[in-house]
Structure 1
Amino acid sequence: MAAVWGALLTDSSRAFSQKLSPPPQSIGREVFSLNIVNLEYGVIWPTVPFFSWRNFHSAWEKIESRPGQWNFFQLDQDISLAEKQQVEILLQLVTIPQWAKLDGRIDLACRESSQPNEEPPICQSTLWKNYVRTVATRYKGRVHAYELWNEPNVKEFFTGTVSDLVTLNRIAYQTLKEIDPTILVVSSSLTRLNPRTLEYLKEFFKQGGGQFADVMSHHFYPAPDPPETMLNFIQSFHSLMREHGVYKPVWNTETGWNMLNRDRNQITEHWAGPSLNDELSQAYMARTYLLSWASGIERVYWYAWGHRSMGMTEHDGKRPKAIATAFSEIQHWIVGSQMKNCRNTPDHTWVCKLFRNGQPQWIIWNAQRHVPFHLPPSWKPSRLKYLDGRVEMFLGQPTIDIGPVPILLERIAP
């Protein structure tokens, strides 16, 4: 087996079934971001380090439930809290309230009245622009990033056409840039949970949707399957971008799984499958961040801190779970390092090679089972680190046991 591994590591073109080429820059802390929910219901502030908070309280229907009646109470609190905690906030510009719809539907055309002295119909595009302008003006200089709509390829969130979505994005993008050219505009985040997502995305790009954003975003949910299953879709996403001349950073603003709680289990997201135990929760989270960066995804917002069934906290929202420790630990492992490559073998063993301060380090796991891993003699690691925070000095053993939870092997400079 050692000889086999030696061959694998010296001839990757033949032995590795998949090799990912990460971005050349060092991994920044902004990669690790969070969706945070239910703070207003007693969920504690995250006990883990993170860069950006994706916030849902900026939805149009939440802050202007009736025409001209604005309520910024909760959103003002959130933004003040983000500033106090020194984290960036990503606001969603999303939803059209019922009062702004025509017969309960989306119709962005602005028409003249057909009869004298008759009030013109509601012009949704003008109302949308006013909503965007009102929010961005209120928080100018305090909020620097906005996301344009959430999962519009799911009828629960959007009932308009692709053309409608492109129009909404164009209006929002132009309005935001007029108010503050430095605002970072994040595109509408589709979800691969819709089986026709790639068709929708292709039409979105074809109609020019890629022009009206600084960052392209998607929800690369692999749940209920393991993280590795998202890789082919990510490659297809990048291919569609290139095909339509869209060369911009890519973010994943939502991803996660159902995870077991110790106090109460109440699955609300049945599409995400059975709840993961602590080991798999930690494993899937760490592998998601490693494989995302290796695939050119520059920021991942985990879903979610405070969620009742997909949360990093127990159901009560007050006690962090094991995944929270792992979320902190994986940041210690990779933030500030440079990932050279990430590749796997036919037996589902993955090896990600990184460099920190000129010294190599390796993160390894097997996506399916526990197997013996024969260390190449050239590695010469100094110690092993685990996602639960344990550290072991390397004693020169030729083989270590690996499984679904990634392990870090690092070499310390003499």
Structure 2
Amino acid sequence: MGSPGTPGLADLLESLKQRSGLSYAALAGRCRMSTSTLHRYCRGQVVPDSFGMVERIGRACGATREELNELHSYWLRADEQRAAGTPPDVASDAGAPAAPTGPSAPVPPARRGLIVPMNRPLPWAVVLVLLACLTLTASSGRSAGGRAAEPQWIPGPSWQQAPRAVPATLFGVTMNSSTGTMPAFHVGAVRLWDSGTRWSQLEPQRGVFDWAALDRLVGGANRAALPVLFTFGGTPRWASPEGPKTAYDDGSRASPPDDLADWDTYVRVIATRYRGRVEAYEMWNLAPSPNFFTGSPSKLAEMTRRASRIIKGADPQATVVCPGIGELWQQASRTFLSQFAAAGGYEHCDVAAVKLHQKDFGDKPETMVELAGLIDRTFHQAGFHLRLWNTGAAHRIAVSAPLSEEQADNYAVRFYLIGLYTRYERMYFYNWGGTKIPIVLQADGGAPTRAALFVEELQRWLRGARITSCGHGLPDNLPANVWQCRFLLPSGSGDDEPAAIVWADSGEAVMTAQPGAYRVRHLDGHRQEIREGAELRITERPALVEYQTATASNPWRFLGRAGQRCVPARDLSSARHKLPNGMRAGYASLASRAPTSARWSGPGSPRDPPSGGTRRGKIAEMATCGSGRSPYRRTDHRLRSRQREPARDRLYRLRHPVRHHPQDR
């Protein structure tokens, strides 16, 4: 474990274990590994394959951030030595034969190539050559072991912003039913596709329209107060007789119409008929694709330009959504997006639509973050930064294997959370009403599944919430497999209450409850009261952790012990009678010394805290939780000794003496 007196990975792991007071068996149970494996790690016999295992041990032992960084440095060094074939810098195990020494000792493989007798001084030329080699090695982008250099360590969340409202419309679904029935659980928006509303179904013959299905769907959505996104697609056979067929059995074509005048007429009729009833129009579904659109990017850009002009003329309030570009894991589709942008397609849209999904629909939803990064770079290179809507998945989703009940429940919720993480404005889950997909929310005519009810609970958590940041793993001071988004939630007192939704992308993790944490809410509706410093077990099912702390809207608010809400001194006149007897004296002693501007100035009308008032006033503005003895009394007394008490406050205190509760004495 390093030369004598030199700490290493195993040394630090062993010292953390000893400090924690846990046995090998207890620590191994917390870290989800065998006792023998943990013993080998702490003895230095084996280097863990990933830092995640090292981090899990460190966090279970209560390691600080500095100690975790130190563990990371030691693990990187040991891993590089292992990759280079160099024996790790650890002591020999007890009972193992000592390494041979002396002239007969073999040269380690990684050190062969330059053997210099050490009983002779090195010539200056050799020294200069060695220095030059070391300089070149250090300046190259690779380590001595041939591995790529580590990227820059950037601590903090993945992004942070001023609080921004979480829109209810984020939680969208694509309708896979033409009955007009809306979801029986709460959603924020609906998209119409695979719902009997393709062009070939609405206009089976030129100039002959069948509005029955679309009228039912738009009417049902309007009655449920759900914004409608209508998606164009499925060219009728009569508009492109020689075009390739789509994947549907209605004879529709994947090619654009031969005469764009037919397209103009169709768009105009739709936009005029549903003016004010359809909120947004998606210019086409899933391009490029042999099953949906085989035209060129320039042709699609021209169709978008013409349709946008017509829609804005018929319904100026409507939102024009550019065609949903799909299969973006493939470079060919990203090239299509770039060419569509170069043809001016995005100049005529309010929103850009893409198909954001996993490579394989059984993969973790967090893999969509990688695709979101590819999409973002493609838009950046094209010079466009529009609002983004995720409007579906890939055609192959219908033949993907169904997920287990547990996976379906967790993945459905995390689908929307990844939308928040990637800062998409809307996420349309594919789909509602169908059953031949990996995750079913509700079959048309059936009851919502547990996955749907969990999605509904997520919306309940975030009703009126404002998001501030999202992060993942070690940079955000989290276990490597943990993700987190932070919010400000509305509360009954009128102040925002901090909260965070946390989850693991795989397996479990153990975290310590941060200062101010007092409750955990689970998707099944269960609520768990916790205390600061308590152990939190993070699983693949997201959970909401609520905090009590000062907020931006009221920096004077002080929140104390877990499960208790403190009332500012200025609110004492209306809240004191609700407090336990043991807490009244503490509040009264603070309220009696608060300046008039910090107290209630009239029935039912509190003033804002003074902006630049005295330090004594700020302390008195805070409230205390717990035994009733104010932790600020002695501090307040010292401040009063240096600053004269206003006469009006002194008179108020003399006229209203405080009767202390016995436990305050």
> Offset at 1:103?
2.3
The equivalences for 1:3-14 within 5 A come to 3-4=62-63, 6=65, 14=153
Name the stretch that deviates more: 335-344 or 363-372. Answer: 335-344
Deviation, 1:254, is 1.6
Letter in structure 2 aligned against 1:182: Q
Answering whether residue 536 of structure 2 is matched by residue 400 of structure 1, we say yes
**Rg larger for:** 2
The TM-score, its normalising length taken from structure 1, stands at: 0.84
Answer yes or no: is 1:351 the counterpart of 2:484: yes
Partner of 2:355: 219
Instruction: State how far apart, in whole Å, the 2-side matches of 1:206 and 1:372 are.
Output: 49
Q: CA deviation at 1:371?
A: 2.4
C-alpha separation in 1, matches of 2:535 and 2:329: 43
Matching of residues 12-411 of structure 1 within 5 Å: 14=153, 19-21=158-160, 24-40=163-179, 45-56=182-193, 57-104=196-243, 124-192=259-327, 195=330, 196-222=332-358, 223-255=361-393, 269-270=398-399, 272=400, 274-310=401-437, 312-313=440-441, 317-345=445-473, 347-356=480-489, 357-376=495-514, 378=515, 380-396=516-532, 398-411=534-547
User: C-alpha deviations, 1:298-323, integer Å up to 9, x for none?
Assistant: 11111111111335446574121111
Give, in angstroms, the shift of residue 137 of structure 1: 0.9
How far is the alpha carbon of 1:192 from its aligned partner? 2.7
Q: Partner of 2:149 in structure 1? A: none
- How far apart are the structure 2 equivalents of 1:46 and 1:343? 32
1:192 to 1:4, Cα distance in 2 relative to 1, 3 A: farther
Q: For the structure 1 residues 75 and 23, does the alpha-carbon distance in structure 2 shift closer, same or farther, using more than 3 Å as the test?
A: farther
Query: What is the identity, as a one-letter code, of the residue corresponding to 1:201?
Result: L
Deviation at 1:39, TM superposition (A): 4.6
Q: Which runs of 5+ in 2 are unaligned?
A: 1-57, 71-151, 246-256, 475-479, 490-494, 549-558, 560-564, 566-665
Q: Quick check: 2:354–2:389 contact (8 Å CA) kept in 1?
A: yes
Q: Which shifted more, 297-306 or 281-290?
A: 281-290
For 2:292, give the aligned amino acid: F
Query: Does structure 2 conserve the Cα–Cα contact (< 8 Å) formed by 1:136 and 1:176?
Result: yes
Q: Using the TM superposition, give the Cα deviation of residue 395 of structure 1 relative to its aligned residue in structure 2, in angstroms.
A: 4.6
Q: Distance in 2 between matches of 1:338 and 1:244?
A: 31
Query: Aligned equivalents of 2:316 and 2:543: distance in 1?
Result: 43
CA contact (8 A) 2:328 2:375 kept: no
Count of equivalent residues = 383
- Cα offsets for 1:109-161 (capped at 9, x unmatched): xxxxxxxxxxxxx8520000000001111111222211110001111001211
Distance 2:167 2:324 in 1: 22
| 2: CA distance, partners of 1:409 / 1:151 | 38
Structure holding more strand per residue: 1
Q: Which has the higher contact order (CA 8 A, sep 6+)?
A: 1
Instruction: Give the Å deviation of 1:99.
Output: 0.6
Which is richer in helix?
2
Q: Percent identity?
A: 25
Aligned mates of 2:217, 2:354 — CA distance in 1: 24
Which amino acid is 2:392 matched to? E
- The whole-number CA distance in structure 1 between the counterparts of 2:154 and 2:513 is 16
TM-score for the superposition, normalised by structure 2: 0.54
Task: Using the TM superposition, name which of 67-76 and 345-354 deviates more.
Answer: 345-354
Q: Secondary structure at the match of 1:149?
A: coil
Q: Which amino acid aligns with 1:350?
A: W
Letter in 2 for 1:324: A
Helix, strand or coil at the partner of 1:302: strand
Q: Residues 372 and 256 of structure 1: is their aligned pair in 2 closer, same or farther, counting only changes over 3 Å?
A: farther
Question: Match of 1:25, SS?
Answer: strand
Asked whether the equivalents of residues 256 and 285 of structure 1 are also in contact (C-alpha less than 8 Å), the reply is no
Inter-partner Cα distance in structure 1 for 2:67 and 2:265: 59
Structure 2: how far apart are the matches of 1:25 and 1:236? 25
C-alpha contact 2:177 2:444 (8 A) present in aligned 1: no
Deviates more, 1:293-302 or 1:346-355: 346-355
- Is the contact made by 1:23 and 1:294 (CA closer than 8 Å) also made in structure 2? no
List runs of 5+ in structure 1 lacking aligned partners.
107-121, 258-266
Q: Is the 8 A contact 1:61 1:97 kept in 2?
A: yes
Cα distance in 2 for residues equivalent to 1:338 and 1:163:
40
Task: State whether residues 55 and 90 of structure 1, in contact with CA within 8 Å, keep that contact through their aligned partners in structure 2.
Answer: yes
Secondary structure in 2 aligned to 1:240? helix
Distance change >3 Å, CA 296–CA 48, structure 1 → 2? same
Q: Distance in 2 between the 1:313 and 1:285 partners?
A: 8
| Deviation of the 1:342 alpha carbon | 1.4
Deviation at 1:21, TM superposition (A): 4.2
Aligned to 2:130: none
* Contact persistence 1:16–1:343 (CA under 8 A): no
- Deviation of residue 83 (structure 1)? 1.5
Q: Distance in 2 between matches of 1:319 and 1:277?
A: 18
2:532 and 2:473 mapped to 1: Cα distance? 24
SS at match of 1:216: strand
The answer (yes or no) to whether the contact 1:36–1:305 under 8 Å persists in 2 is: yes
Change (3 A) 1:177 1:364: same
Q: Secondary structure at the match of 2:436?
A: coil
Distance (Å, rounded) in 1 between the aligned partners of 2:155 and 2:405 = 30
SS in 2 for 1:254: coil
8 A contact 1:373–1:400 mirrored in 2: yes
Q: Distance in 2 between matches of 1:103 and 1:204?
A: 24
